[in-house]
């Protein structure tokens, strides 16, 4: 048996996320099916980030164990012949048998794209949230700065979550105007359920003037989801990449 690490890129529009409880179409389910076709083995690929329904990835990581004789680097090409074209395995390599990105220190980068034209552009609507009211970028940048660093992000976490601690560290957060789009780029070692989408919803409330940037420390302090903004829709969110920082 050997362990293979794959990098996976996908358009999440048609899927119930990386992984789902029910018999729904998922990214992992499609990779498993392709692995079955290729190796004959019943494999459950294990992802570093279990992205939500409708969320995209430029690069997610996953591992699986196989007894197949397929050379490790050939898995990406071979799997792509069995996968729908909105899922691509962009690389594959052998890793130590106990290697798993979910149990290593990693830094994840997410980007949320917002379209701000008067009318939504149908050529970008799968990958961005359209907002027709004007956004004050400076307010959003000021608000974002309050989120950087280690905080209890309980207010920025969907209520039906079950984690040991809601303390997380945002290592970097940037709000930038890119022609008629606003991009919110967030980096951190780990995120709570819906955290980036709630951060986005809250920054948008700030950008439209319903919240002030100075409200952010109070929202954090309250530890109450109701005080943050709405959860932005999944379509605008893309997992840009996962950097493995150390083997511990």
**Interface residue list for a copy of itself (CB under 8 A):** 9-11, 56, 58, 76, 80, 85-88, 90, 119-123, 125-127, 238
Nearest-approach distance from CB 246 to a copy of itself, in angstroms? 28
Q: Which is nearer to a copy of itself, 17 or 192 (CB)?
A: 17
**Residue found by looking up tokens 């690490």 in the block:** 5
Nearest-approach distance from CB 76 to a copy of itself, in angstroms? 8
Nearest-approach distance from CB 187 to a copy of itself, in angstroms? 19
Nearest-approach distance from CB 180 to a copy of itself, in angstroms? 13
CB atoms within 10 A of CB 198: 22
| Residue 52 a catalytic site member | yes
**Residue found by looking up tokens 């048996």 in the block:** 1
Q: Identify the H or E element spanning 62.
A: strand 56-66
Q: Which is nearer to a copy of itself, 206 or 238 (CB)?
A: 238
CA-CA distance, 105 to 47, in Å (whole number)? 15
Sign of the CA dihedral running 201, 203, 207, 209: positive
Q: Phi/psi at 192 (nearest 5 deg)?
A: -80, 170
Report the DSSP pairing between strands 105-115 and 46-47. Answer: unpaired
Q: Which is nearer to a copy of itself, 141 or 238 (CB)?
A: 238
Q: Which is nearer to a copy of itself, 110 or 153 (CB)?
A: 110
Could you say which of 52, 98, 172, 243 is catalytic?
52
Cβ pair 143, 216 in contact under 8 A: yes
C-alpha Rg value of the chain to the nearest Å: 19
Catalytically annotated residues: 52
């Amino acid at each position: 048996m050997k362990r293979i690490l794959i990098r996976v890129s996908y358009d999440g529009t048609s899927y119930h996320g990386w992984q789902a409880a029910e018999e729904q179409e998922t990214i992992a389910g499609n990779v498993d099916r392709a692995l079955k076709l290729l190796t004959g083995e019943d494999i459950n690929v294990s992802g570093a980030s279990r992205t939500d329904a409708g969320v995209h990835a430029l690069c997610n990581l996953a591992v699986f164990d196989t007894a197949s004789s397929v050379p490790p680097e050939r898995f990406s090409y071979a799997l792509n012949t069995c996968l729908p074209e909105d899922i691509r395995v962009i690389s594959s390599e052998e890793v130590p048998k106990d290697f798993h990105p979910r149990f290593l220190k990693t830094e994840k980068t997410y980007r949320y794209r917002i379209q701000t034209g008067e009318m939504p552009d149908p050529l970008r609507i799968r990958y961005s949230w359209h907002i027709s009211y004007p956004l004050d970028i400076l307010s959003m940048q000021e608000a974002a700065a309050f989120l950087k660093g280690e905080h209890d992000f309980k207010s920025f976490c969907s209520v039906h979550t079950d984690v040991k601690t809601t303390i997380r560290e945002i290592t970097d957060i940037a709000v930038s105007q890119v022609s008629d789009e606003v991009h919110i780029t967030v980096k951190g070692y780990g995120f709570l359920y819906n955290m980036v989408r709630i951060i986005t919803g809250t920054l948008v409330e700030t950008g439209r003037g319903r919240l002030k940037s100075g409200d952010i420390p109070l929202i954090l302090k309250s530890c109450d989801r109701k005080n943050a903004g709405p959860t932005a829709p999944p379509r605008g969110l893309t997992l840009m990449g996962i950097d493995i920082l150390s083997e511990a």
